[in-house]
Amino acid sequence: MSRFGSRRTATASYVDGMTPAATESPADLVVTGCAVLTHDDRERIGFAEDSAIVVRGGVVEEVTGAGAVAGRAARERIDARGQVALPGLINCHTHAPMVALRGLAEDLPTEEWFNDVIWPVESNLTGRDVELGALLACAEMIRGGVTCFADHYFAMDAVAAVVAGCGMRALLGEAFFSSQGAEGRERSLAFALRHRGAADGRITTALAPHAPYTVDDTDLAATARLAHEHGLPVHLHAAENRDQTEACLARHGVTPIEVLHRTGVLDTDVLIAHGTGIVESDLPLLERASGRTAVATAPRGYLKFAWPHTTPVRALRGIGVPVGLATDGAASNNSLDVWESMALTSLIQKSAENDPRWLTSRQALHHATLQSARAVGLGGSVGSIAPGRRADLVLVDLTGPHTQPVHDLAATLVHSARAADVRTTIVDGRILMRDRELLTIDVPGVVRELGERLPALVDRSHGRRIQEYGT
Ligand SMILES: [Zn+2]
């Protein structure tokens, strides 16, 4: 394997190597021979070549040179020469089960997409549809190197069961509209309390109002109170596009971000999906909330819906608001490929800011790692490969012709590598995919059963909708 880049010692324990592991029981997993993406104490991205990662009890115990683990006892070893270890990608906003609707509503403006196809079809959803969709989504994400996702949907008990079974990590929220009455909000709370900390801690939960245009101020204010009372974050769509911001101003005299402010939602730990309609006057409010607010960007859908703006990443960086990478649901995005979101974010930001020096590959990797981890409330436990962090990591093969030669490893990862280059995906130290083989999900079985259910799922002859879109 050719040289990856300059070696950089990442952490104190990288160099001291003085762990008790050598004299104790075997490590659970040793990954050896790879380059490891590291963050220094100023969070700059670096790469340590010819390294090893030692995992014990679901946690990274040590990141060291490959030579240091040569004789180390381990229950499982992975020879990762020619590969790069990255923190697992995080999909900061999706609706995983919507993979069942992939390609069903194409080439439509937002309003028709919702009112004519998606919301009529979603009135047919059953728990089993949601479960099969989530299984397919998790399989796709694991294959693309995603180890954690923030999901916002209906019948989320089914998604929680899938997460528990397939081994991924997730921030889950049961979505609700005010049209459901108080019951929607209560269900969202009950779900969050029931599943918080489930699957050995891999599941965290959020309250999940749909958006300020479908959830009224009373419900948003109640959500903020419940978030404080129970110590829960809030995950919702807001200022998705500029039309929504303008409609909100025309109808209520305030922007969607001002709605979140006046209802107290900005005083909670809030994850805002999209924010392409965030305007200049919103920035002081977001800055005041910057320790608690994050935004998820899913740029493919903005292009597809022909929205004129994208998430204002540069302005958000200026006020200290992390921006995580996302795909949204596959009904609009067509894939759950966070790798693509990373490349698109870099490209669209360069274009939007008219600045080729902005959103460099290293910045893109920072969004993909620490900023995404912060966005889903896991900034202290995932998002970097370092001692004490949960062992959520992926191994990426860079031996393919489309990734050679490697002059700048960060650029290779962001602009040349693809999701299909991920060979191995590990969550909490458990291998979910090894050498491209999925170990926890039976994809053919899922596709077969989902296929049988599709005619009933996509039927719109009843004329019902779960909700009306009018921004
Ligand atoms: Zn969404």
Convert the pLDDT of each residue in 103-156 to its tens digit. 999 999 999 999 999 999 999 999 999 999 999 999 999 999 999 999 999 999
Measured in Å, residue 189 CA sits from the centre of ligand 1 at 19
306 vs 32: CA distance, rounded Å: 45
Measured in Å, residue 153 CA sits from the centre of ligand 1 at 9
Neighbours of 292 (CB within 10 A): 16
Between strands 293-297 and 323-325, the pairing is: parallel
Measured in Å, residue 194 CA sits from the centre of ligand 1 at 23
346 vs 327: CA distance, rounded Å: 14
Measured in Å, residue 234 CA sits from the centre of ligand 1 at 14
* Nearest alpha carbon to residue 151 among 166, 139, 169: 169
Measured in Å, residue 18 CA sits from the centre of ligand 1 at 46
pLDDT per position in the chain (471 positions), as tens? 333 333 333 333 333 444 444 457 999 999 999 999 999 999 999 999 999 999 999 999 999 999 999 999 999 999 999 999 999 999 999 999 999 999 999 999 999 999 999 999 999 999 999 999 999 999 999 999 999 999 999 999 999 999 999 999 999 999 999 999 999 999 999 999 999 999 999 999 999 999 999 999 999 999 999 999 999 999 999 999 999 999 999 999 999 999 999 999 999 999 999 999 999 999 999 999 988 999 999 999 999 999 999 999 999 999 999 999 999 999 999 999 999 999 999 999 999 999 999 999 999 999 999 999 999 999 999 999 999 999 999 999 999 999 999 999 999 999 999 999 999 999 999 999 999 999 999 999 999 999 999 999 999 999 899 888 876
Mean pLDDT of the chain: 94
Neighbours of 385 (CB within 10 A): 26
* Nearest alpha carbon to residue 424 among 164, 55, 1: 55
pLDDT of residue 3: 37
Measured in Å, residue 331 CA sits from the centre of ligand 1 at 10
- Tokens 């302005």 sit on residue: 315
CA distances from 186 to 156, 193, 418 (A): 14, 11, 41
pLDDT of residue 23: 56
- Token code pair at residue 64: 């060291």
Measured in Å, residue 429 CA sits from the centre of ligand 1 at 30
Measured in Å, residue 301 CA sits from the centre of ligand 1 at 10
Measured in Å, residue 94 CA sits from the centre of ligand 1 at 6
Q: Which helix (H) or strand (E) holds 49?
A: strand 45-56
Between strands 169-176 and 146-153, the pairing is: parallel
The conformation of residue 390, written as its DSSP 8-state character, comes to B
Measured in Å, residue 252 CA sits from the centre of ligand 1 at 23
148 vs 36: CA distance, rounded Å: 19
pLDDT of residue 471: 63
234 vs 7: CA distance, rounded Å: 40
Q: Would you call the peptide bond into 405 cis, given omega within 30 degrees of 0 as the criterion?
A: yes
Count how many residues are written for the chain. Answer: 471
pLDDT of residue 468: 86
Measured in Å, residue 353 CA sits from the centre of ligand 1 at 25
- Taking the CA of residue 50 as centre, how many other CA atoms within 13 Å lie in the half-sphere pointing to its CB? 10
**202 CB contacts (<8 Å, ≥6 apart)?**
163, 164, 167, 168, 169, 170, 427, 428
Measured in Å, residue 440 CA sits from the centre of ligand 1 at 26
pTM: predicted TM-score of the whole model, two decimal places: 0.94
Measured in Å, residue 36 CA sits from the centre of ligand 1 at 32
Measured in Å, residue 350 CA sits from the centre of ligand 1 at 24
pLDDT of residue 24: 73
**353 φ/ψ sector (left φ>0, alpha ψ -120 to 50, else beta):** alpha
What values do phi and psi take at 161, rounded to 5?
-65, -40
297 vs 392: CA distance, rounded Å: 22
Measured in Å, residue 93 CA sits from the centre of ligand 1 at 6
Measured in Å, residue 101 CA sits from the centre of ligand 1 at 14
The CA-based diameter of the chain, rounded to the nearest angstrom, is 69
Measured in Å, residue 366 CA sits from the centre of ligand 1 at 23
Measured in Å, residue 329 CA sits from the centre of ligand 1 at 6
pLDDT in tens, 347-373: 999 999 999 999 999 999 999 999 999
pLDDT of residue 228: 98
Measured in Å, residue 217 CA sits from the centre of ligand 1 at 20
339 burial class (0-12, 13-18, 19+ CB within 10 angstroms)? buried
99 vs 104: CA distance, rounded Å: 10
